[in-house]
Structure 1
């Protein structure tokens, strides 16, 4: 099936030995067929087993994009991060630098999601500041973003994955704002979830272009680090 799909999205949410073997086979088949592969390293820093599995996947499979929260991406970048648990996402490191390091180290498009989303190919980066405050209050919002990134990647040539991920994150964040605005009662995550799915289904390029709030930039050189070395 991986050979016939337009894109393969791997999520390590619930792991066992058979699933790991299946992911390796599917990822290898997708690579051989020239199909894009997206990795969601859910809770990679939570246990040594999860870290080992992701390390094996990264050695075996060529990933077009990796989408994770700040805590997960910091593990892949090999930097310290102040966070705990599968959904840990707050800390003090430079998120643009973390995304850049993941992109360079693993030769991929890095999508670091959170209150702001950062997308980087190792040199270019974009920061999207849209998004509903209700997103962190529903489970699976990050996993869904990984799937949306995969869907956008599948619609463009594989070498346009950076643009696809940028558009996916902007669309996702703006749709969440539209969903929150549509609620008759505010701050209710149970009502927000179906409204958000409806907003995603009602996506339009014109609405995203009008409402997206983002900054784009490049690193001044390949060896520099830190936000002070970014050119917006």
Structure 2
């Protein structure tokens, strides 16, 4: 069995990659949709390499150790990914990010579409609330969708993680929700409400933006849980 250890490990990893990318949308928990073809190609290449290596490896394999070898421990992460793919990043990841906000210049934003409520990403809402000198959110009803996070003092937020390439570069966008009790942490909700001005425009006191809630609906986690910047 030892002669097939390396090929078996490659086969497991390739199967895990194909499981999350070719046979479903689980890959969206980790990378942007545009990377799917590369994941599929990588998974297929790993499986092909595993089969080729196993076929070409000589039947007589000299080994002096009698245990399965430490290398077999590497199969555990591959099996975990294949059988139990981890969930998308949630409130823990959002809370781990410090409130780091680069100095963005205050300026005017394009006009919002006509009609209320207007659907915005949480990041779009935050940018307009904190940096828009034209106050385009004033008097408008907006709709936001995200997962619930909360502070120790009971303040709660609708939150999304913004991903440029993959989950490793995720940053946090969130809006403080006022006027309605918080659902359970990490549950997904759609909120409609109106902008609640706070702090000085463009300063840390304006972050995170606030929303006066009118309606709240529990919703399932979307297929792609991340927002694009």
- Report the structure, 1 or 2, having the larger strand content: 2
TM-score by length of 2: 0.24
In our comparison, the structure showing a higher alpha carbon Rg is: 2
Using CA pairs under 8 Å that are at least 6 residues apart, name the structure with larger relative contact order, 1 or 2. Answer: 2
TM-score by length of 1: 0.24
